[in-house]
Structures are given as structure tokens and as C-alpha cells.
Structure 1
Amino acid sequence: MTPATHLDDVHRALDSARGRMFTRTERVPLDELTGWAGDPDTGTLRHHRGGFFTVEGLRVRRPGRPVAEWSQPIINQQEIGILGILVKEFDGVPHFLMQLKAEPGNINGIQISPTVQATRSNYLGVHGGRPVPYLDHFRDPSRHRVVTDVRQSEQGSWFLRKRNRNMIIQVSGEVEPLDGYLWLTLPQLHRLLAVDDLVNMDTRSILACLPLTAETAPGDSAPGDTAGYTAPGPAGDFTAALLRSCDPAAPARHSTASLLSWITDTRIRTDLTVESAPLNRLPGWHRTPDGRVAHDSGRFFDVIGVRVEAAGREVARWDQPMIAPYGTGIVALLVARVDGVLHALVHLRAEPGYVDVVELAPTVSCVPENYDVLPPAARPPLLDDVLRADPSAVRFDTVQSEEGGRFHHARSRHLVIETPYRPELAEHPGFRWMTLHQLTGLLRHSHYVNMETRSLLACLRSLTTSAPAPVGAAR
């Protein structure tokens, strides 16, 4: 199969795949999930083969905060999965091998996924299904050129210390795309990011970890080249400011050394206690008559059971628990030009599921409706700035799906909003202005930049190679 020449080819491939690659998901009570059972003492949900993941209870304490204590269910998946994309040059242009994959939690069926997206249980065959295609390229990366290979966290509010290996491997030999796979260029992927619910969460995470020079160097450069560049364009142009933000020589509001010290100091000072708790006796949560685990307020999320029938997957049928959130989330970055260099306002956020207490989050990351049942002081300090932003200041606005293998119809509106530079915004506790080069530099290491920020970074970086679609056009 030759690389997709036009985006119309991609949409035709999607239309063609929908008839033979799909998941049909039926909600069932948690007690009726085949292969899963609740621990009689704690209620913890486990698979009978011992792999995959568990759903457990958690008790969290943050003294001195507006919400000082709470309890919640959480997914515990300690095994580290592989999220990997193969890249190969065609006529000197890097192309990425993407999979058209249906997940049980996807709101729209098929999404554009990495070449490999597999938990350890999957690739060791615990599910009893077919082998994962192309997996050997990632399990033995020494045979190829490694562009990116780093462990990154997942959502710290829904996963307990979950990490996945984000990889990009460059190959030189022949790689024949199987049915449901196609080669796409980075500019094509960037254009597709402007479409609602199309490029999946794991793809966005990997793209954020891609070295910046791989997308800004000349077309005959290989991914990962470290040659510098000079950003074109006038000082007043947004795209030029964005490209300058990718340049290691561009001035930054804070030095990387001071930012690392700030992160380390916050990790030491943050008072966060996380303890295991019985899922069947969590304060504020209950089992509903139809077999869900739900919060007493009717907000936040449910733990539901689903029965899945699939085509085009390694396994044709299975049952599993999933998290089903209420409402569409908001993940937003405020960006500003400082001396002609675009800076993003990031928030150092603590989550109970993080390995190392805090990670860099977007300016705002929440479901606004949840704050109707929380103390007013808990409301994110810049949420109203985001919700009331002038439409002319919005540089990116698309609804993106969260990971469809564990979350059911979980979606967040991704916003990049330009604002005049205001130093006082960083006076809110836990906020700093950073360049894209600084954020991408931290992505070479684990546990610094959270999932939501990586997702937004992929969207923001897409504006370097593709003109943004009109706001709302994707919907």
C-alpha cells in the first residue's frame, strides 16, 4: 500500500474500514461481567487470569486544600504498555504508520491510533487472541533507529501510577501495511488533529514526544536530527512566535534550571497522602440498582461494566469494567508572546495517581460542572478566563477523545487561547510561563509533563505545519 497522498484518501480508508473494523458495546452490571469478579472483602474488581488491571478504592488527603479529603475508585494497571509508531522515509519525506482502530469506549468507532498500542497482558497473549502486529520492532528496538523512547504517565485522576512506553522507531527496510494501517506524513496528522474525535489520545501523546527538529527541519532530514533553525516570519505573526518557541536559542521567561528547581521544590512541599480503601465501602459512593458504582452527587464518573463484540481486533469478544465520566472536560492552554516568543502558561498539578506527586498540567484542566458540588474555593483560578475568552483569540478548538480502552465516551474540548502577556497570571500558586522547547525538553524524561498537556502540545504544534481550521468547523 502506498502512502496516502491526500486527506481524501484517509477519509476513504476510514469509510472502507468501518464495515469490517468495529466494536459493539453493551452496558451490563458489574456483577455480570464474564471473567471478572469482585473481592468478597474489599470489592476490588479483578480479571480471573490475574492480568490487565483492577478497579480499586482510594482515599486521598490534602490538608489545607479546599477539598481536604475524598475517596474514589481508580484503575490500577501497574504493567507498562507499549505505544509505538513506526516511521519510514518515502522520497525523503518521513511517513508514520498509523492504525485505524476501534476501541469499546470510542464515541465514534474508529480513530487514528499508533502502529502498536498494547498492554503487557495483550502482547504476552493473556487475552488468548492473535499476536499484536509489528510488535517485534518495539520489543527489540536495537535493530532500528530509535527516535523517541520514554515512559510517560496516564491520567492521574483515573489511573494509579499508570505509565506507558511512548516510542517512535525509524525503519529503513520494507514494511508492508496490513489491512487497517496506512502511512501518513506529519502535516497530514496535524491537519487531522483539527477534526473532532479522530486522532486518538495515545497518538497525541507520542506526537508530543517527537523531537521538535523532526517537524521543522528540511524534508530530507531524518527524524531526530538536532540541526538548529531560524524561525521565519514577522515578529507580529502568531506562527512565527510559535516557531521561535520551538528554538532552543530563543529567550525564555524562566531558565530551565529554575523550572526544574520549582518542580522539585513543589514535589517536596506538597502534602498528599494516598491510601488503598475498600471499593465496596467508599464514602460518598454507592452501587446503583443497574450495577454501576456511582458518586452520591451524580457527578464525576461512574464505574460501569461493558460487554464488547469486535471485528478487526486480536480478540472478538470480551467483558470489562470502564470509567464513564459525566460531562465534557475542558483542557486549555493560555499562550502569550514574550519578546516575540510564544510562551504557554502551565500549572503544576497534584493528582493521586501520579508516581511523583505533581506534573505539569495545562492552564485549566477540569469538567466545569463538577464544581457545582464542590466548595467555591476549589474552582480553577483561570477557568473563567478560558470560558469567557474572545473567539478571535482562540487559536485551536477541537473536541478530542480520551483513551477508549479504559474510558467510555470520555472527551475533552482542547483549547489554545492567545492572551496578552500578563506576568500576574503566573502569580497564582503553581503557574509558570514556559516555551515549547522547554516543555518538549522535559518530555525526554518521565513524570514531568502530564497526559493532558501532551495532548494539547500535539495540537499546538500542529499549527506549525497546518493552518488552523475555523473555530468550530470540525463540529
Structure 2
Amino acid sequence: MFRRTSEFHAWFSAQERAHDYRVTPARLDRLDGWALDPETGSLRHRTGQFFSVGGLEVRTDNREVASWAQPIIDQPEWGILGIVVKEFGEVPHFLLQAKMEPGNVNTLQLSPTVQATRSNYTRVHRGNAVPYLEHFTDPRPGRIVFDALQSEQGAWFLHKRNRNMIVEVTGDIETLDGFCWLTREQIGELLLVDNLVNMDTRTVLAGYPGQAGDARPRRDTEDTLSGAVARSGRPDACALHTKAELLSWFTGAKADHHLTRTRVPLDSVKGWVRTEGGVSHETGRWFSVMGVDVEAGSREVTRWSQPMIRPSSRGIVAFLFRTLGGVLHLLVKARTEAGTLDVVEMGPTVQCAPDNYQDLPPGCRPAFLDQVLSAPAERVRFDVVHSEEGGRFYHAQNRYLLVEADDDTPPDADGNHIWMTVGQLAEMVRHGSHVNVEARNLLACLRFLP
């Protein structure tokens, strides 16, 4: 445990120096253990486990364009993302680890207590066992605080879900090398640091309800952003819409829109170019599929090779907000992605890589993107860059923003958008596959504001 955040940073720097890591870009056709499946045309591991990369043709009436084709990761097995919580001196502490992922821009980031695919924790790779796994499998020595199957990035994963869990323990628990205990306030401070708290930690923290024993100063009386967020998170906050109205809007969005997908071989995706080295879009935009060779002394397996998705530019994940009836509300979008499980999920107001939409007419640009990009500094109330999932995405980063809506934003938006309080959106997170991973990540940042 750390009394000051500076002590954590010293510990984290020591962790970075403690192990040697090497990630080397590699040609797809030379990845050890990977090859195109002659039946499906997907890039697949020789064990048939882990994941594969194939092609997908998509049609929908809920995006800027009606149809497109792209490579996509197919990982039908779900993994475990779990955080252990324990009270020390009546203050909840979260057990996190300094974990290397091959796609991290800075190699080491703060991960959940357990972050493992089913192939990993069942040891298909014949590597070491996953520490603390026993807290997230039956029978477990602890009390469930949060447990939901949550979606991953629908732009790059097909129907991918992970089990997000928070388990509270009361007995003694050993703190292994590379792990540390942090309070809610300390995590809040670290969430303000670029590329430090990883995506998997953020998505799990989005489901943390906050307990009576969470001994932190009351913020809901403060005239600050964190105070406004805290008031918006209260169950008795005066909301523009009831929960029944929100669920009716969400159900209607799923019923009113369509999403059809057809699998195609990886080397037959329209508009994409396949070479020995990788797969990329003919315009150079969107993303590419590349390979890496990895050496990591602190992982369950110390050497491996794998394909990865590499975005062409940095993205933006933003909520517009405004005060309605004296309570902060977030503008939530019913969003469809290529890999979305059930047509739409609740997403942030804006979620895109702006460079992909350069020189396009306004009708082909995401709604509210220009308002977010042109917002004056005084309207941008939260602004930090975070990495996305480093196990499958190479140097993927998004700029996470909370932007005060301008006067032209309607108090109730079109059928694809709706205003919610922070508490209402947090309640939706407790139901699997309602809120997408980008919205959950930004919500966690806001709810843990120091």
C-alpha cells in the first residue's frame, strides 16, 4: 500500500526496470504457429485456440455508410477480467498488477488482478498458472460485488465478450511480486495519467457500485466537476428520463435497426490489400493487420508470436454533457459496430478516429464530432489519452473527453441519442452487453475522479 501517489510511481518504475521486454513487428506469413486455414481462409493458430482473424462484409442502417468490408478478430471464448477488493483500515483497496502487453505503447500498464483468456487460464500454452485465479472461479473465497459478461471493441472483435468481476475478500491475501493495493482516490489520480491504467482495468471499474464502507470524502456537495458527477450518480438524482423510458428507447433502437454480416476469407476482403507482411486498407486509413514476435520474462509464457490490429490514427471517445433539472446528464448514442452482438449498444456521444473522415461531407461525418473537435478549452472538462486492449491491438490509443454541450444541442436529442444521468448509465453497466466498452471506459474515468 502507498501513502502517497509518488510512492506508487517509484514502485511502477522499478517494475519497468525489473524485466526485459521485446516486441518486434513480423510478417504475417512468417508468424510461428499461425497460418491461413484452407477451409475458412482465416488466419488461425495451429492449436485452433486463442483467436483467428477473418474477413467480414457488413450491412446496416445505423452508420455513416450502409455497407463495408473489413478484417475482424474472432475470439469466441470469453476470458476473465477480475479485481480483488479488500478493506484496510475500513478503506477499500483494489489489487492491481503491472502487466506487459505486446500492443501497449509503453509496454507496462496497470491491469486487473486477473486478466486472462480461457485459453490462457486453462493453460493451452503450457505456461505458468494465472495468479489469484481462484478468487474468480467456483468455489471462491470472497463476496461477489460485480459480475457481468461485457462486450469488447465491436469495431475489431466479432461478438467478443469477457466476464468482468469484482470480488471482495476479508481474509489474509498475499501480495505477489508485480501486484499492488490502491485506494479509489489513488486510482482516480492515476486515471488522469496518459496510458497508465489499462483498458481491462477501466472496464471492470465501471461496474464498481461504491459501498457504504467506501470511506472517501463526500463530493456531492462540492462545486466541482467531481461533485457534479457524484450528484449525477446518486440513485435519487432527478433524471430527465425514467429507467423504463431508457430501456424502451434501447429496445426500440435494437428493433428499428438492422445489422447483417457475412464471413469472407481474409485474403478476399473488398478494398483491402493482402501482402506477405500484413493486410491494410487500400486508402491507408482505418487499420491494418500486422504480426509481432514477443519476448516477455514476466508473463506465463516468455515467447510467442501473434497477429494484431494496428489502427491508422488516434481515436476520440467523448461524452457531451449538460445540466438538466440541476443534474449533469450524458448524451448516450445507440451505436452499431461490425461485431456488435445485438445490433446496438449504448455508446458515447462520439466514438471514431477523426482522420478517417477527413474531406467527407457533413452527412458522412459522425454526429456531434465537429462540436467536440471545435469545443473551446473551457468546455472541455476532462481530457486524457488511454490505450486500448494491448493483447490484440498494437499502439491503439483514444483521447477520452467530457465536453459541455453548446447551446444548440437540443435538450432531448434524436432517436439515436438520449440523455442519461451518470447513475443511470452506471446501472446499465451492471447488465451485460448494454453499454459498449468505450462508454464504460470513459464512465469509469468520470466516476473515479479524484
Question: Normalising by the residue count of structure 2, what TM-score does the alignment of the two structures yield?
Answer: 0.96
Identity among equivalent pairs (%) = 52
Amino acid at match of 1:16: A
> Is the Cα contact below 8 Å between 2:91 and 2:215 reproduced in 1?
yes
Deviations 1:263-316 (A, max 9, x none): 11111111211111111111101113x511011110000000110011111000
1:252 maps to which of 228, 231, 239 = 239
Residue 335 of structure 2: aligned partner: 349
1:19 maps to which of 17, 20, 31 = 17
> Is the Cα contact below 8 Å between 2:207 and 2:430 reproduced in 1?
yes
Residue 279 of structure 1: aligned partner: 266
Residue 181 of structure 1: aligned partner: 179
SS in structure 2 opposite 1:147? Answer: strand
Amino acid at match of 1:100: A
Of 17-26 and 364-373, more deviation after overlay is shown by 17-26
Residue 470 of structure 1: aligned partner: none
Amino acid at match of 2:354: P
CA shift, 1:427, in A, is 2.8
Matches within 5 A, 1:391-410: 391-410=377-396
Return the alpha-carbon distance in structure 2 between the equivalents of residues 141 and 366 of structure 1: 41
Question: Normalising by the residue count of structure 1, what TM-score does the alignment of the two structures yield?
Answer: 0.91
Matches within 5 A, 1:39-50: 39-50=37-48
CA shift, 1:428, in A, is 3.7
CA shift, 1:68, in A, is 1.7
Change (3 A) 1:364 1:63: closer
Return the alpha-carbon distance in structure 2 between the equivalents of residues 421 and 94 of structure 1: 41
> Is the Cα contact below 8 Å between 2:91 and 2:213 reproduced in 1?
no
Residue 371 of structure 2: aligned partner: 385
CA shift, 1:24, in A, is 1.1
Residue 7 of structure 1: aligned partner: 5
Q: Which runs of 5+ in 2 are unaligned?
A: none
Return the alpha-carbon distance in structure 2 between the equivalents of residues 462 and 230 of structure 1: 11
SS in structure 2 opposite 1:335? Answer: strand
2:117 maps to which of 114, 119, 128 = 119
Change (3 A) 1:119 1:64: closer
Amino acid at match of 1:98: L
Change (3 A) 1:220 1:283: closer
Matches within 5 A, 1:140-151: 140=138, 142-151=140-149
CA shift, 1:327, in A, is 0.6
CA shift, 1:246, in A, is 0.8
> Is the Cα contact below 8 Å between 1:242 and 1:342 reproduced in 2?
yes
CA RMSD of aligned residues (A): 1.8
Matches within 5 A, 1:433-452: 433-452=419-438
Change (3 A) 1:452 1:63: closer
CA shift, 1:152, in A, is 0.5
Change (3 A) 1:230 1:65: closer
CA shift, 1:426, in A, is 4.0
CA shift, 1:52, in A, is 0.4
1:155 maps to which of 137, 153, 156 = 153
Amino acid at match of 1:150: A
> Is the Cα contact below 8 Å between 2:316 and 2:351 reproduced in 1?
yes
> Is the Cα contact below 8 Å between 2:64 and 2:366 reproduced in 1?
no
SS in structure 1 opposite 2:29? Answer: helix
CA shift, 1:20, in A, is 2.5
Amino acid at match of 1:96: F
Deviations 1:104-130 (A, max 9, x none): 000001101000000000000011110
Amino acid at match of 1:294: S
CA shift, 1:378, in A, is 2.1
Return the alpha-carbon distance in structure 1 between the equivalents of residues 232 and 180 of structure 2: 31
Amino acid at match of 1:169: V
Residue 356 of structure 2: aligned partner: 370
1:34 maps to which of 18, 32, 35 = 32
Return the alpha-carbon distance in structure 2 between the equivalents of residues 162 and 95 of structure 1: 29
Deviations 1:76-114 (A, max 9, x none): 011110000001111111111100001000000110100
Matches within 5 A, 1:399-438: 399-419=385-405, 424=410, 426-438=412-424
SS in structure 2 opposite 1:150? Answer: strand
Of 41-50 and 185-194, more deviation after overlay is shown by 41-50
